[in-house]
Amino acid sequence: MRRKLVVGNWKMYGNLAWNKALLDAAVEGLRDYRNADYAICVPHPYLWQAQAILQGTNIAWGGQNMNQFEGGAFTGSVAPHMLVDFGCSYVIIGHSERRELCNESDPVVAAKFEAAVKVGMKPVFCIGESREEHEAGEAEEVVARQLDAVLTRVGAEGLAKGVLAYEPVWAIGTGRGASPHKAQSVHAFIRKRIASLDSGVAASIRILHGGSVRVANAAQLLSMPDIDGALVGNASLVADQFIAICRAAN
Ligand code: PGA
């Protein structure tokens, strides 16, 4: 049985007081729900605060991005070991917003995946097709290409050190997520592709679902055989909603 994992992605939201209220509420609300894993990925400046509040609880924390290099003249960038210094166990890699807005290519995403694993973090590796690709019926082709970039670089054993997140880009932030069955069919396709290389890794790797996961659709999505958790944006910004989704995973 794969243990479910819910990851909150705060994106570029928050401030010290707001973060504290949300983190305190999550700690309190999830204390007695120990049959699933939880993590919250906060903006870099607040990692120390997440660490201070979440340390010793059943909620992990992580970054939303990092540079693939260990150090160097990269103004404004954050190196993998810097996230580790603040206790991060997860880092989101290849989120569609970074692929789109920051031109992160498949090879860059693969390099980041490898760099995160090297310092002992679990990359939450995001894949998913855009609306145009979806409408053209290219979802499988696109996720296969994105997945293969990482598989080529680190192999199936390397992939096993991370977590996958299938997020159809057309569903992100729209309030209109993929239907559970539609989502399941892509998740199954992803697992089958990994199985063609290594059936053990395919059986054990967690494939999260993202894109408008809300309280209303979480339980149904999470009941699908190949959906092992959720990557939650919007709903992770409201304590009661995030807690409810985490409890559904529990
Ligand atoms: P959403 O975001 O839940 O607001 O759709 C998900 C994500 O971008 O990871």
Q: Which residues pair with 106 in a beta bridge?
A: none
Average the pLDDT over 144-171 and give the result.
Answer: 98
How confident is the model over 113-152, as pLDDT tens digits?
999 999 999 999 999 999 999 999 999 999 999 999 999 9
Average the pLDDT over 12-16 and give the result.
Answer: 98
pLDDT at 210 > cutoff 90 = yes
pLDDT at 103 > cutoff 90 = yes
Tokens 């699933």, residue?
Answer: 36
What the block records as the tokens of 207 is: 């494939």
Question: b or e along 40-53 (b: 16 or more beta carbons within 10 Å of the residue's beta carbon)?
Answer: bbbbeebbebbeeb
Average the pLDDT over 176-193 and give the result.
Answer: 97
Residue 219, pLDDT score:
98
Judge if the beta carbon of residue 92 lies within 6 A of ligand 1: no
Q: How many CA atoms lie within 13 A of 181 on its CB side?
A: 0
What is the percentage of the chain residues whose pLDDT exceeds 70?
A: 100
DSSP-assigned states of every residue in 36-95: SEEEEE--GGGHHHHHHHHTTSSEEEEES---SSSSSS-TT---HHHHHHTT--EEEES-
Question: To the nearest whole number, what is the mean pLDDT of the chain?
Answer: 98
**End-to-end Cα separation, the chain, in angstroms:** 13
Residue 16, pLDDT score:
98
Residue 17, pLDDT score:
98
| Pairing of the two strands 207-210 and 59-63 | unpaired
Please say if 44 is a catalytic residue. Answer: no
pLDDT at 245 > cutoff 90 = yes
Tell me the chain's radius of gyration from C-alpha atoms. 17
Assign domain 5-248 to a CATH class.
alpha beta
Average the pLDDT over 188-194 and give the result.
Answer: 98
pLDDT at 2 > cutoff 90 = yes
Q: Is 243 exposed, middle or buried (0-12, 13-18, 19+ CB in 10 A)?
A: buried
The residues, any chain, with a CB within 8 Å of residue 18's CB and separated by 6 or more, are: none
- Domain limits of the chain? 5-248
Band of the pLDDT at 1, cuts 50, 70, 90?
A: confident
The residues, any chain, with a CB within 8 Å of residue 117's CB and separated by 6 or more, are: 123, 154, 158, 161, 162
How confident is the model over 20-78, as pLDDT tens digits?
999 999 999 999 999 999 999 999 999 999 999 999 999 999 999 999 999 999 999 99
Judge if the beta carbon of residue 94 lies within 6 A of ligand 1: no
The angle that helices 47-54 and 16-30 make with each other, rounded to 10 degrees, is: 30
**Helix residue spans in 196-231 (DSSP H):** 199-204, 215-222
Judge if the beta carbon of residue 26 lies within 6 A of ligand 1: no
pTM of this prediction?
0.98
Residue 247, pLDDT score:
98
Going from the Cα of 168 to the center of ligand 1, the distance in angstroms, rounded, reads 10
Going from the Cα of 142 to the center of ligand 1, the distance in angstroms, rounded, reads 19
